[in-house]
Amino acid sequence: MVLDAVRTAFEKGLLPSNQVPEFEVETPKYEGQGDFSTNFAMVSAKLQKMAPAKIAKSLVESMSDSTHTHLGPVLEKIEVAGPGFINFFLSPGAWHPVVDQVLNQDASFGASAMGRGQLVQVEFVSANPTGPLHVGHGRGAAVGDAVGNILSFAGFDVQKEYYINDSGRQIRTLGTSVWLRLQQMQGKTVDFPQDCYQGDYIRDIAQEVFATRGKDLADADEKQGIEICARFAAGKILAGIRSDLDDFGVRFDNWFSEQSLYDSGRVQTAIENFKEKDLIYEKDGALWFRTEKFGDEKDRVVVRNNGLTTYFASDIAYHDEKYERGFDRVIDVWGADHHGYIKRIDAAVVATGRKSEQFDVILVQLVNLLRDGNPVQMSTRAGEFVTLKDIVDEVGKDAARFMFLSRSYDSGLDFDLELAKKKSSDNPVYYVQYVHARITGILNKAKDEGLIDQTDFKTGSHLEKLVAEEELKLIKLIAGFREQVEKSAETLHPHVIFTYLMTLASAFHAYYNHHKVIIADKPLSLARLSLVLAVKKVIRNGLALLGVSAPERM
RNA sequence: GCGCCCGUAGUGCAGUGGAUAGCACGUCAGCCUCCGAAGCUGAAGAUCGCUGGUUCGAUUCCAGCCGGGCGUACCA
């Protein structure tokens, strides 16, 4: 249409040139600036050697002349504004079908085909099974889970995975810790080293292992004993992690064992393959992977001079295995303290023949735990931490998840325990959930009064009655939901959905305070009920992406 | 030193290559005989860290600098 106008204007001699630079058509930031707007006049100012406002004026005149058929039911008004924007205003009737769409598509409204079924794996949490999950893991869990949900809604085929570090030194240390506590329980005086896990849960596990495996332990020497303790403890802790995540609403499609990479020989194979390609060399008795060739600062050790493999070795094998499983794209969610690891893994991914674009790392900045504004020191080793379970038990799953997703993971997050524990209206989750509960209340009342047969229906009625400013604002917001889902999926930023929900909730609350839904004018009332039901569904769909429930009442 | 992230209102954070920089909390003033006041309306509050550059136009992109966080192992 704009192009048409340019041609017409040129032919009529209003513009000196018919060349068309790159321009954009977008939704303006503020109300009163139309539904679509283009910066065409501004970007072509140089080319046309004319003032943007003058170009815009010529274009609008041409459009009114040549495309008058477009004006009418859909297009209401075209105007020139600001430094030369051309704003297009749609008529209310153009928006009404959106309400029907929401009611019809229900839980799938907002879904997108953007991902074209691409296989994506999101790996997150992946905490070592050496202690319970703490608050920091909670943020990673909330982010990973939400990213998975959003990608899936945006048309990707998503698998969520947890990588279990069930081999290596930490597990041995865990075994030793339990073993030593066991010795202490039996009255032996043993030194409990600093680098062992200090938490009370180690004692609990020691008691359990004694109760269930005491007989085997009695016959075991120290090495066997530690092995038994390690396996028992890891299993026990992992079960706890699973259950904590379950309470947090996070479910994984797959739990992948690091040990299995060793058992199947994949780690060894990966190293051999790299050796053959001359990507691994020996120095000082250790094996080094040439990560520097792939942009890392320096080469990294995969096998130490004592013959033991590093974590990096199994990570190479692990990522290779992921792509071999058929994933087009792999996303790892890590804590910010692991950022130095990105280049390394990226190098491994590229070295096995994949493209760097197929690998993404979401770096979640650290959670700063506070209590009444004062920092809480946390260390797994010292056994002093606030667990994810503590948080969920005290503030609830919904509030915790919403809090974690309320801001970009690019920023550090202050999580104040006392504040989070407060069930006050400070918590934004109530603001959004309240909309859902409020609308449920309205629909129930409408049903009681016989206005509607059921509180859920698929077709709106008398939608043409929705002409109030607040109503159109709501409809336009609803219409933009899918765009937000796509934006969120593209940027891998779940807080986009959070911000959207807050905006939608705010618009609804304002509407509610200005207009009654259940009124004497029955057609208008039915139209408003349709709108309100649509809002309810969008709120529910959005909350679902974040893993937050949409309560019928609160 | 090097690398990553952040610097926007009193506080915590959104946002954008363009037209009036938003939200929440906090402060002040209002709104329930009326579908849920966990809500709404209004007011006050910001030289978008600093300096350059690219651009018709920069808070947004780039470079440098200054602050803050994190990392920088043959640890995991």
What is the C-alpha to C-alpha distance for residues A463 and A468, in angstroms, rounded to an integer?
12
Within residues 375-404 of protein chain A, the ones with CB less than 7 A from nucleic strand B are none
Q: Closest by alpha carbon to A72, among A96, A89, A53? A: A89
Residue nearest to nucleotide B72 (CA to C1'): A340
Q: Is the CB of A311 under 7 A from strand B?
A: yes
Strand B bases, protein C-beta under 7 A:
2-7, 12-15, 18-20, 22-26, 34-41, 56, 68-76
Task: State chain A's mean pLDDT as an integer.
Answer: 88
Q: What strand order describes the sheet that includes A359-364?
A: A254-257, A157-164, A119-123, A329-335, A359-364
Of all nucleotides in the shown strands, which has a C1' nearest the CA of A425? B38
pLDDT of residue A73: 62
* pLDDT bucket at A160, cuts 50 / 70 / 90: very high
Looking at the predicted structure, is the pLDDT value of residue A28 above 80? no
Q: Is the CB of A297 under 7 A from strand B?
A: yes
Where is pLDDT greater, at A5 or A415? Answer: A415
pTM summary value:
0.92
Q: Is the CB of A476 under 7 A from strand B?
A: no
Handedness of CA A316, A320, A321, A322 (dihedral sign): positive
* pLDDT bucket at A427, cuts 50 / 70 / 90: confident
Within residues 32-61 of protein chain A, the ones with CB less than 7 A from nucleic strand B are 32-34, 37, 39, 42-43, 45-46, 52
Within residues 133-152 of protein chain A, the ones with CB less than 7 A from nucleic strand B are none
Question: Average pLDDT of A178-203?
Answer: 89
Structure tokens at A9: 């204007």
3-state secondary structure of A75: strand
Q: pLDDT tens digit string along A340-394?
A: 899 999 999 999 999 998 999 999 998 887 776 677 765 555 555 688 998 898 8
Q: pLDDT tens digit string along A70-117?
A: 555 677 788 887 777 888 888 888 889 999 999 999 999 999 999 999
